[in-house]
A and B are shown apart, each in its own frame.
Chain A
Amino acid sequence: MSVVPAAPDQIVHVVDDDEALRDSLAWMLEANGHAVAAHESGEAFLAACEPGMTGCVLLDVRMPGMSGLEVFEELGRRRCGLPVVFITGHGDVPMAVSALKQGAVDFVEKPFGEREMLRVVEQCLRLERETRDRRQQEAETARRLEQLTQREREVLELIIVGKLNKQIADVLGISIKTVEVHRARVMEKMGAHSLAELVQHVVALEPGASTR
């Protein structure tokens, strides 16, 4: 009985067995412009969960059937990158703490204020968005790196470590002119407008990616 709203790319998934809470939370979040999908149990959420989903998850810790923690573990197993916020009741705090240690973004204790909940949700969504953007940027950089020739890559590596054109020419045993040509082509292929931008892009890739 998931209510999936139209359009927006980020959806807040609310997973709670208490209908009033689920419904009211959706009401409140929707009022603040978030797309909400409500799920009555962990099993229902996992059934609706697909790879490539964006947004975040608000997960009640104590539910009949699968507990929130079990759902979280299952998400980890599925390598789902959605940030998870636990909603805990009285006495569930230690459980939530252990969930945090395992990588949950935050937890909210019931009863919670509107502002608190919105802050957490927005933080989550931002985090998720940033992560997604970074991933895309890295993929783009990696794709561009792929286009470089061997010699261009050598030149790039030397540029990144801060070598001057002359030094690069000495190291590679080529003329400064040639270095300049390579350099221009690297900049062009990497879509960088400045040296700083170039370095930023390449270094953002995980170490070793540039030296494949």
Chain B
Amino acid sequence: MQASATARATLSRWYWAVPYLAVTVLALSMLAVVWLLQERETEVERDALARDLQWTEQSIRRAMLTTEEFLVQLARDLSAGTLDHDGFQLRANEHLAINPALSNLAWVDREHVITWPAPFDTRDLLTGEILVDDQVEAFQNSVLSARLTYGRPYVDSRGAAVLEVFAPVLRRGESLGAIVAVYSLERMLSRLVPARFAEKYRLAILDRAGQVLALSSALPEAQQPLSLTLALDPPGNGLALQAMAFRPGGAVLRYLPSALIVGLSLVVLWSVWTLRRHVQRRVRVEKERDQLFDLSLDLLCVIDLDGRFGRCNPAFERVLGHDPRSLPGRSLIDFVHAEDVAETLSMLRRLASGEPVRFETRCRCADGSYKWLMWSINPVREERLVYAVAHDVTGRKATEDALRAESAFRKAMEDSVVTGLRAIDLSGRIIYVNSAFCRMIGFDEDELVGAGPPFPYWPPEQLAECERNLSMTLSGRAPRSGFEMRILRKNGERFDARFYLSPLIDLTGRQTGWMASITDITEPKRVRAALESAHERFEAVLDGLDAAVFVADARTDEILFANLAFKRIHGFDAVGRTVRGVAVPQPERGDYRVDPRNLSPADVPRELFDGELLHPQSGRWYHVREQATRWVDGRVVRMGIATDITDRKRTAEVAREQEERLQRTARLITMGEMASTLAHELNQPLAAIANYCAGSVTRLQSGKGRTEDVLAAMQKASFQAERAGKIIRRVREFVKKSEPQRCAVDLVEVLEDAIGFADIDAHRTRIRIHTELAPDLPPVYADRIMIEQVLLNLIRNGLDAMADTLPEARVLTVRVSTVGADAVEVAVIDRGHGISEEGRAQLFTPFYTTKVEGMGMGLNICRSIIEFHNGRLLVDANPEGGTIFTFTLPTESAIERSARSA
């Protein structure tokens, strides 16, 4: 693998050499092509140059040949002597005008003296001047050779290069002199060469040594010029014509392509190098990432937004057992536990909306088991892909579940215990309370946790004690049995609690505080106290009784228990002795309903005796009650209660006497009241009578009274007098009898009289008095006035009771009926406010009253009267509201019968 990597590296290096090589070759071939093209161009230019140069040389030579012919002709004419000075001048000047390259013409005699110079205005060759050395030499050569001879070019006095041609003038072989023509080399170039050449080329004439004699242009000499030199005839003089081409653009243009090629190639090479560096870096990073991807212990994958796996790392195999290569294309949902599918789908939807999500799901492993995975997924929206990381949290989940179960268990345990728990740290601050404690004291957990002393549940009156307990706790001196404390509930109630304390130890074994368990001991305490007090009460009650109480075995008669009263009467050593032995007043054996000695526990309890007995020694009366009952140990006992009723008996007699006295007094009082009322009633008729009489008298006295008017008034007056008389009669009847006088009485008459009285009140209070009388009522044997008083009393009570009754219900009913043959019953039924249960019980007590002005004697006396008549007065609640008073009276016949039988 190492070898192949190396080989791959080498190969990649070779790959990398190819672009370099290619670029280099390309550059070189480009350069070659450019060079070739330039060479070709140069060649073409050179050919053009050569052509042009030859053309120029030809034109120069043609001009020179013309001049030569002219000179030869002229020389011939001179030799022939046909030419004088003027002719010479004419022809020379003419020629000079045609040939601008020529600057001068002159006739030089044999003595080398210039004889005839042309043109006329020349300043170079002046008549009389003698030729110089070089001229002489050329002169001689021409003369000697009898041919045209070119002198050596030279630079004249004015700095211009000139070339002289000598044409000998011979006459029969004898030299007469020579004609000299002077060429200006510069003019030759400027005049004989066409202008287009001059623009295109730089033309120069060179001497034999190569020195430039004349130049066609002032243009500077180009570098590396393309030049061509051509020998210029006449030969021997060594003159040469040189042409140099002007290159357009010059060197820059010439070298630009190459420079560009080289430059661009370098740029390409540089960029390739940079690219390579970059690619190498990328490759390295990618390699690292791949390694991260492959070596990660977490599951890494790419998922599309539909939840389909893309690439998955090998951790899938390690964790879930799935081959990562088999996963791409399959959906994540296929692997999710059925219960987690909904959540996973919602998470995928959130992903699709671009939110990063974290969630935990169970995923199926290859072996079918499930593992908890925590997914962290970040969506990359542009790519419609998500990069997902999943961490195997199965272990953590299991731990969490276990922890949760444990905590729930503990919570349930805490909540269910009734013992309050409270933990404080070492500074006394509450760090924990359980719900039982909260319930116990009524404070919320929030109010307690964090609180320091004094705690809110300390009763203000016991702060000092509470603080002492707390400091004992904190110093570890709290008693093992705990301590009792009074606790203040939030609602202000107080209760007693017992605190048990134990140190609170943390994981490292260090003590972090104190845990207290608190028990509400109010109830046990209360029960104990209740029991104790019940016992005390029991004894106190029994000892406090005036009645002597004993318990004796039914069979042996042994006294098992005796209360204080018993002991006081029969000796404090009574317990243990027999009842007979201590001579308690008790019934003889025969007086018992059953013989107590034969009773079995199943027969009890049952009453044995209830009666009054006289104590033979002391002469005191006892009410003795004995009962057979079951004693605490299961045997049958007699329980006896003997109450001294001597005083009660005496009191009852006194009371009876008093009542009789009272009745008499009350009767008088009632009669007084009655008389007063009747007197009041009398006022009305009396006043009316007086008025009628007075009115009548006045009328009669004045004589104005009509008889019938007065008569009517007198009748009214007598009627009123009757009314008054009735009232008076009633009063008299009422008062005169101080003792009851019984006789046969028609009850209906009595009732009518009573109602007649009561009507006054009934009328005022708008109450209807309704009577229901049974037909054929027998006469009763009674005191008429007394019975009337009873009736009146009961009716008035009924009327008073209905003062607040609704008007439509204001009916008082008096019902008279027979009860068997011997009695008549009268019921007075009102619809008033009624009498309460307690009220009814006290109804007949003297001086008991519900009326503001009442004396409380009425009903009591009524009962006395009825009972005097051997009847009964009863009171009952009216089912329709109100009260029913009922009394019975014996009929006359019943009394007669009883009198006879007696």
A residues adjacent to B (C-beta < 8 A): 18, 20-21, 23-25, 27-32, 64, 89-91, 110-114
Contact partners of A30 in chain B: CB under 8 A: 695
A-B contact pairs, 14 of them (CB 8 A): A18-B688, A20-B716, A20-B720, A20-B723, A24-B713, A24-B717, A27-B695, A27-B713, A28-B694, A28-B698, A30-B695, A31-B705, A111-B686, A114-B698
Is the pair B684, A110 in contact by a Cβ cutoff of 8 Å? yes
Is the pair B679, A28 in contact by a Cβ cutoff of 8 Å? no
Contact partners of B684 in chain A: CB under 8 A: 18, 20-21, 89, 110
A24 CA / B714 CA spacing, docked (Å): 10
Contact partners of A24 in chain B: CB under 8 A: 687-692, 695, 713, 716-717, 720
Q: 3 nearest interchain CB pairs?
A: A24-B691, A114-B694, A28-B695
Contact partners of B720 in chain A: CB under 8 A: 20, 24
> Cβ of B510 < 8 Å from any Cβ of A?
no
> Cβ of B685 < 8 Å from any Cβ of A?
yes
Contact partners of B691 in chain A: CB under 8 A: 21, 24-25, 27-28, 114
Chain A residue nearest in CB terms to B680? A90
Q: Which of A29, A64, A89 contacts B683 (CB 8 A)?
A: A89
**A24-B687, A110-B684 given; A90·B679 CB < 8 A:** yes
Chain A residue nearest in CB terms to B700? A31
Measured between C-beta atoms, what is the minimum distance from B71 to chain A in Å?
Answer: 179
Measured between C-beta atoms, what is the minimum distance from B672 to chain A in Å?
Answer: 14
> Cβ of B247 < 8 Å from any Cβ of A?
no
Tell me which of B676, B690, B692, B723 has the highest count of chain A C-beta atoms within 10 A of its own C-beta: B690
> Cβ of B606 < 8 Å from any Cβ of A?
no
A71 CA / B419 CA spacing, docked (Å): 79
Measured between C-beta atoms, what is the minimum distance from B95 to chain A in Å?
Answer: 172
**A23-B716, A24-B716 given; A31·B683 CB < 8 A:** no
Cβ contacts B690-724/A at 8 Å (1 or 0 each)? 11101111110010110000000100110110010
Is the pair B690, A111 in contact by a Cβ cutoff of 8 Å? yes
Chain A residue nearest in CB terms to B694? A114
Contact partners of B719 in chain A: CB under 8 A: 20
Contact partners of A89 in chain B: CB under 8 A: 680, 683-684
B residues adjacent to A (C-beta < 8 A): 676, 679-680, 683-692, 694-699, 702, 704-705, 713, 716-717, 719-720, 723, 763-764, 766
Is the pair B687, A31 in contact by a Cβ cutoff of 8 Å? no
Contact partners of B685 in chain A: CB under 8 A: 20
Contact partners of A18 in chain B: CB under 8 A: 684, 688
Q: Which of B676, B687, B692, B698 contacts A111 (CB 8 A)?
A: B687
Contact partners of B687 in chain A: CB under 8 A: 21, 24-25, 110-112
B interface: dominant SS: helix
Chain B residue nearest in CB terms to A90? B680
Chain B residue nearest in CB terms to A32? B698
Is the pair A64, B696 in contact by a Cβ cutoff of 8 Å? no
A56 CA / B698 CA spacing, docked (Å): 21
A21 CA / B696 CA spacing, docked (Å): 15
Measured between C-beta atoms, what is the minimum distance from B767 to chain A in Å?
Answer: 12
Chain B residue nearest in CB terms to A24? B691
Measured between C-beta atoms, what is the minimum distance from B309 to chain A in Å?
Answer: 106
Chain B residue nearest in CB terms to A113? B690
A100 CA / B728 CA spacing, docked (Å): 33
Contact partners of A31 in chain B: CB under 8 A: 694-699, 702, 704-705
Contact partners of A90 in chain B: CB under 8 A: 676, 679-680, 683
Contact partners of A114 in chain B: CB under 8 A: 690-691, 694, 698
Chain B residue nearest in CB terms to A112? B687
A180 CA / B314 CA spacing, docked (Å): 149
A18 CA / B763 CA spacing, docked (Å): 12
Is the pair B698, A64 in contact by a Cβ cutoff of 8 Å? no
Contact partners of A27 in chain B: CB under 8 A: 691-692, 695-696, 713
A64 CA / B761 CA spacing, docked (Å): 11
Tell me which of A91, A111, A112 has the highest count of chain B C-beta atoms within 10 A of its own C-beta: A111
Measured between C-beta atoms, what is the minimum distance from B641 to chain A in Å?
Answer: 57
Measured between C-beta atoms, what is the minimum distance from A95 to chain B in Å?
Answer: 14
A173 CA / B390 CA spacing, docked (Å): 130
Chain B residue nearest in CB terms to A114? B694
A56 CA / B624 CA spacing, docked (Å): 81
Contact partners of A23 in chain B: CB under 8 A: 688, 716
Contact partners of A64 in chain B: CB under 8 A: 763-764, 766
A167 CA / B720 CA spacing, docked (Å): 75
Is the pair B688, A20 in contact by a Cβ cutoff of 8 Å? yes
Contact partners of A29 in chain B: CB under 8 A: 695
Measured between C-beta atoms, what is the minimum distance from B768 to chain A in Å?
Answer: 15
What 9 additional pairs, Cβ within 8 angstroms, besides A18-B688, A20-B719, A31-B696?
A: A18-B684, A24-B716, A27-B692, A31-B699, A32-B698, A90-B680, A110-B686, A111-B690, A113-B694
A20 CA / B763 CA spacing, docked (Å): 16
A24 CA / B683 CA spacing, docked (Å): 13
A9 CA / B680 CA spacing, docked (Å): 36
A161 CA / B751 CA spacing, docked (Å): 80
Is the pair B683, A110 in contact by a Cβ cutoff of 8 Å? yes
Measured between C-beta atoms, what is the minimum distance from B559 to chain A in Å?
Answer: 70
Contact partners of B699 in chain A: CB under 8 A: 31
